[in-house]
Structure 1
Amino acid sequence: MILVDYRCGACAVTTETLTCTPVPPHRLCPRCGGDAHRRYGAAGLTGRATAPAAGSTACVDNPDVPGLCHVGPAAKRTLIARHRGDTDTLAREQQRQRAEYERSGPPDSGQIRGHSHSAPARSGVVS
């Protein structure tokens, strides 16, 4: 059981209710009988997402990041962090890339020569 807040649209009263999961999105207001909708608080929103540098950089795992398929491997973590507004991961990735540059010089171009999200064509079939 969890504690959930509901706010009535008719009388504007907010109530806390101990309820089972799955939590109903609305219920009757105990004060006036009107329709009370579930409210979401920030208490459960304090976690952090997996940092892109630690997660997958594959374009199929990050469909929300435009152009990810068309950059080299070294740029993918930076692009993911920048797109999602993850300034901590972006700063760490830029620092990592600077250190790598100072240690090894400029990276390979990483140019993508060919890429597809579709299944390979069957032999002898023209699409």
Structure 2
Amino acid sequence: MTIRNYRDLAVWTKAMGVAKAVYALAELMPKKEEYRLTAQMIRAAISVPANIAEGRTRATRKDFAHFISIARGSTAELETLLMLAVDVAFLSARDVDPVLSDIEEVGRMLNALHAKLKATPNP
């Protein structure tokens, strides 16, 4: 399959799925957290596919790798926020664990893509 744009990237598709799942989890959060932890979770979740998309449209592999690095950081942030939500009993582990598993997969995919971008020179 030829990669024409960011929508053709499996990692972008998977990251979009995670973002949608985080929106569903946000509905389970207490109302008092709407502008605190919930908002931060949503921002981190959105950041992952957004940075993949933005990086893919940049002119160089170095730029793309930089945005993939930012997306990797957002996956770690999101994972931390979701674990905190479980630890303070805002969300159940049963609800969060499948999303954490998907985040780990996105992280592995981003790591592989980042390594490939760093190893391959611009054409």
Aligning the two structures, in what range does the TM-score lie when normalised by the shorter sequence? Answer: under 0.3
Give me the TM-score of the superposition, normalised by structure 1: 0.25
Larger Rg: 1
Which structure is higher in helix share? Answer: 2
Higher RCO (CA 8 Å, separation ≥ 6 residues): 2
Give me the TM-score of the superposition, normalised by structure 2: 0.25
Which structure is higher in strand share? Answer: 1
